[in-house]
Amino acid sequence: MFQKILIANRGEIAVRVIRTAREMGLKTVAVYSEVDARAAHVIEADQALSLGPAEPSESYLNIDRIIQAARASGAEAIHPGYGFLAENPDFAAACEEAGLAFIGPPAGVIRDLGSKTEARRIMASAGVPIIPGTAEGTTDVATVRRQAEEMGFPILVKAVAGGGGKGMRVVAEAEEMAEACQAAISEAAKAFGDGRVYLEKNLVAPRHVEFQILADGLGHAIHLFERECSIQRRHQKIIEETPSTALTPQIREAMGRAAVTAAQASGYVGAGTVEFLLDQDGKFYFLEVNTRLQVEHPITEMTTGVDLVRRQIEIAAGEPLGLSQEDVAPRGHAIECRIYAEDPAEQFFPSPGKITLLREPVGPGVRVDSGIYEGFTVPVEYDPILSKLIVWAHDREAARQRMVRALGGYAVLGIETTVPFLLDVIESAPFREGETRTDFIERHFTAWRPSAPEADVARMAFVIDELRPAARPTGGDQPRGWPTPWQSLGRWTI
């Protein structure tokens, strides 16, 4: 086993990896950019090294500097988290070259599966069903446009190197094609360094169901059941749960088998996720393999009791999986809500800034994977995810009620967050009924406006809060020092 690992990421996922590493007795090394010098992952780690300026290419995407940091700190392995370099085969290769263990699959596997078109080829030949679409990617708008017209609309433009909804556009009609295509190419080029896009048939209101897989370097692979990730906004998952309400035992078994087949066909090592789309007839199609730890991995951990990060590290250290398919028996129901620094009242525009007050929910069955703290300034430079709120209970309805309770106690002030939106979704009748399809938000929440808390109570809180004097003198020419009683006593009469 390693003595020391470096986490090449930031925010909640870096903190989450550090926690397991600490439990395993490993020393942890954080890396950070200029704006993250006081970020949670830096504070949590045993050691922290600066990478450079905020710009990702100068810091979290800079392979050379990260390898250098690993060398300088004496780390033996690198955990990439998700996003940034997690699915970059060059990075995995650079680690291998530098004699560092990459906590993830081998570079070749990442490269194969990272190309959506190549992945589709591998799966098709292994007998895993795939969505109809084009076989090759391109950056030529005219080509894509012609292909699209052949396949018919609506259609999905996807980045070959894509992930996380970036470089992806649904196109309803031919006229929108050029602009959407250009946007997807530009976004993909910027996010992944590869602007190529291809086309897929756009399934109508499918469900997004994914299977967690684990494979060791000795050829042993298992799945850890599914995660239902259909609730998405702009192709970004926002709520995930397990088990899926849509799967019958038969479908579950078939998909699980397909997932393990996919792992084996691609020579997979480590923790990964096989994504499927499930249509209304119960037919499922391979979508892609995510060769990393998923954002939503905690719900699987909650129901299976398996610490996926621990398994990742063990596998990377060359240890056998030590877990058979029969050992994995999921229990109860888990739901995850992603908390973003976005303003639901302003079209979910990012809302960076200083967190002036933070109260995280606690209590039975509640887990918060957080990368923030009170007083932290959420930087403008990175993905606006703040934390994930995960609940577990014996069944879905109990878990849903627990999520309502936990969101109700999740106070983040100073910035706007998605908490009020999530609360409305979780409380809605369609969610309660399990009507979770990928068009859930469009169908039920397009005209959504934040409902204010009880307005009169809020007004009362305002005037009551006025009674609290300012903690410190404010205003331009106030004398410095301790507040005078004129400032500290608040409303006062003889």
Partner 1 sequence: MEYRLELGGEITPMDVEVQPGESSARVRIGEASVRVDYELVAEGHWRLVVDGRALNVFVARTEEGKQIFINGRTCLVRDADAAPRRRGRAAGPDEGPGEVTPPMPAVVVRILVAEGDRVTKGQGLIVVSAMKMESTLAAPYDGLVTRINTAVEAKVMPGDVLVEIEPEGENE
Partner 2 sequence: MEVIETRIDIASDEYRANYAAMEAQVARLDEELEKARSRRSERAIKRNEQLGKLPVRKRLELLLDRNTPFLEIAPLAAYGLYDQKVHGAGIITGIGVIHGREVIVHANDPMIKGGTIYPLGVKKGLRTQTIARENRLPIIYLVDSGGAFLPLQSEIFPDADDGGRIFYNQAVLSKMNVPQICGVLGLCTAGAAYIPAMSDDVVHVQGTGAIFLGGPPLVKAATGEEVTAEDLGGAAVHCRESGVSDYFAEDDAHCLDLIRQIVGNLPPAQKTEIGRTEPRQPLYDPREIYGIVPVQISTPYDCREIIARMVDASEWLEFKAQYGPTLVCGWARIHGYPVGILGNNGVLFSESSLKATQFIQLCDKRGTPLLFLQNIPGYIIGREYERGGITKDGHKMVNAVATATVPKFTVIVGASFGAGNYGMCGRAYSPRFLWMWPNAQIGVMGGEQAAGVLVTVKNDQLAREGQPPLPPEVVEGMKKPIMDAALKEGDAWYSTANLWDDGILDPAKTRDVLGLAISAALNAPLRDDVYGYGTFRM
Catalytic residue IDs: 292
- Give the one entry of partner 1, partner 2, none that residue 456 binds, where binding means its C-beta sits below a cut-off of 5 to 8 angstroms depending on kind: partner 1
Q: Nearest approach, Cβ of 75 to partner 2 (angstroms)? A: 45
- Give the one entry of partner 1, partner 2, none that residue 395 binds, where binding means its C-beta sits below a cut-off of 5 to 8 angstroms depending on kind: none
Residue from the set 127, 132, 305, 485 that interacts with partner 2 by CB under 8 A: 485
- Give the one entry of partner 2, partner 1, none that residue 487 binds, where binding means its C-beta sits below a cut-off of 5 to 8 angstroms depending on kind: partner 2
| Residue 337: φ, ψ to 5° | -115, 135
Name the amino acid, one letter, at 279.
D
User: What gap in Å lies between CA 419 and CA 437, rounded to an integer?
Assistant: 21
Q: Which of 404, 371, 374, 405 is nearest to 388 (CA)?
A: 371
- Give the one entry of partner 1, partner 2, none that residue 488 binds, where binding means its C-beta sits below a cut-off of 5 to 8 angstroms depending on kind: partner 2
Closer residue to partner 2 in complex, CB, 249/475: 475
Does the protein bind partner 2 through residue 204 (CB under 8 A)?
no
User: What gap in Å lies between CA 332 and CA 94, rounded to an integer?
Assistant: 41
Cis ω for the linkage preceding 243 (within 30 of 0): yes
Q: Nearest approach, Cβ of 475 to partner 2 (angstroms)? A: 5
- Give the one entry of partner 1, partner 2, none that residue 146 binds, where binding means its C-beta sits below a cut-off of 5 to 8 angstroms depending on kind: none
Q: Nearest approach, Cβ of 458 to partner 1 (angstroms)? A: 5
Closer residue to partner 2 in complex, CB, 117/488: 488
Residue showing tokens 């992952």: 41
Q: Nearest approach, Cβ of 493 to partner 1 (angstroms)? A: 7
Dihedral sign computed on CA atoms, order 410, 411, 412, 417: positive
- Give the one entry of partner 2, partner 1, none that residue 408 binds, where binding means its C-beta sits below a cut-off of 5 to 8 angstroms depending on kind: partner 1
Cis ω for the linkage preceding 56 (within 30 of 0): no
- Give the one entry of partner 2, partner 1, none that residue 486 binds, where binding means its C-beta sits below a cut-off of 5 to 8 angstroms depending on kind: partner 2
For residue 479, what are its two tokens?
A: 């004398």
Alpha helices in 392-482 (DSSP H): 396-408, 419-427, 429-432, 440-445, 455-466
Q: Nearest approach, Cβ of 189 to partner 1 (angstroms)? A: 12
Closer residue to partner 1 in complex, CB, 449/480: 449
Contact 336, 299 (CB under 8 A): yes
- Give the one entry of partner 2, partner 1, none that residue 347 binds, where binding means its C-beta sits below a cut-off of 5 to 8 angstroms depending on kind: partner 1
Closer residue to partner 2 in complex, CB, 349/486: 486
Say which residues have a Cβ less than 8 Å from residue 6's Cβ, sequence separation at least 6.
28, 29, 30, 31, 66, 69, 70, 73, 75, 77, 78, 79
Q: Which of 131, 21, 373 is nearest to 30 (CA)?
A: 21
Does the protein bind partner 2 through residue 25 (CB under 8 A)?
no
Closer residue to partner 2 in complex, CB, 449/480: 480
Site for partner 1, rule CB under 8 A: 183, 186-187, 191, 341, 343, 346-347, 349-352, 356-357, 359, 380-384, 407-414, 416, 419-420, 423, 450-468, 471, 491, 493
Q: Nearest approach, Cβ of 280 to partner 1 (angstroms)? A: 31
Closer residue to partner 2 in complex, CB, 447/464: 464
User: What gap in Å lies between CA 402 and CA 410, rounded to an integer?
Assistant: 12
Q: Nearest approach, Cβ of 419 to partner 1 (angstroms)? A: 6
Closer residue to partner 2 in complex, CB, 332/473: 473
Stretch that binds partner 2, among 11-19, 95-103, 234-242, 476-484 (CB under 8 A): 476-484
Q: Which of 78, 133, 122 is nearest to 100 (CA)?
A: 78
CA angle 268, 270, 275 (to 5 degrees): 65
Residue from the set 329, 455, 471, 494 that interacts with partner 2 by CB under 8 A: 494
Does the protein bind partner 2 through residue 493 (CB under 8 A)?
yes
| Residues in a beta bridge with 169 | 157
- Give the one entry of partner 1, partner 2, none that residue 478 binds, where binding means its C-beta sits below a cut-off of 5 to 8 angstroms depending on kind: partner 2
Contact 240, 192 (CB under 8 A): no
Burial class (CB in 10 A: 0-12, 13-18, 19+), 273: buried
Does the protein bind partner 2 through residue 482 (CB under 8 A)?
yes
Q: Which of 354, 308, 301 is nearest to 330 (CA)?
A: 301
Closer residue to partner 1 in complex, CB, 359/394: 359
Query: 3-state class of 60 per DSSP?
Result: coil
Q: How many residues lie near partner 2 (CB under 8 A)?
A: 23
Does the protein bind partner 2 through residue 322 (CB under 8 A)?
no
Give the contact letters, 443-472, x = binds to partner 2 (CB under 8 A), - = no.
-----------------------xx-x---
CA angle 25, 28, 30 (to 5 degrees): 165
Q: Nearest approach, Cβ of 470 to partner 1 (angstroms)? A: 8
| Residue 210: φ, ψ to 5° | -125, 155
Does the protein bind partner 2 through residue 492 (CB under 8 A)?
yes
Angle between helices 419-427 and 396-408 (to 10 degrees): 150
Q: Nearest approach, Cβ of 459 to partner 2 (angstroms)? A: 16
- Provide the binding-site residues for partner 2, judged by CB under 8 A: 466-467, 469, 473-475, 477-479, 481-494
